[in-house]
Amino acid sequence: MRPDPHLQFLPMQEADLVEVADCEVEATEYPWSLQNFRDALHAGNSCWVMRSGGVLLAQGVMMRVLDEAHLLIISVSPAWQGMGLGRQLLDHLCLCAAEQGAREMFLEVRPSNLHALALYGKRGFAEIGRRKAYYPAQNGQREDALVMRLEL
């Protein structure tokens, strides 16, 4: 499925990083830092922003290794959540991965992230494993990660 043509999917630039990191802080309880995004960009990962009328709506980062793609992060600004933008950005990242020769995409997600799990499930990702105590959680605890896979 192709994304909505009225949205702009733009390669992330150095000039986007502060805005991207600020959006990430608003969008998630355990955000990537500005340096995480800078490192991903400088490492040559596929880093994207979604904009409409110049407004940052979402961002995503994907790493490709040989014929595999790994979704590292996808987040939507809280003001724009619940409008299907995460699905459109995910579709864009999957299309980019396939065009770059990836045959499958992997990701990790918190079991407590029900919105993300629903999105990935609708897109066709299937759970293939679990990483114990992968993510930081409240009160110094750790949360598992579900490992999911999609054939592209």
- Enumerate the active-site residues: 108, 120
Instruction: Work out the angle between the directed axes of helices 85-99 and 114-123 (0-180°, nearest 10).
Output: 50
Give the other-Cβ count within 10 Å of 77's Cβ: 19
Q: Decide: 88 and 57 in contact? Cβ < 8 Å.
A: no
Q: Which of 97, 91, 99 is nearest to 69 (CA)?
A: 97
Give the other-Cβ count within 10 Å of 29's Cβ: 11
Q: Which of 152, 90, 151, 77 is nearest to 119 (CA)?
A: 90
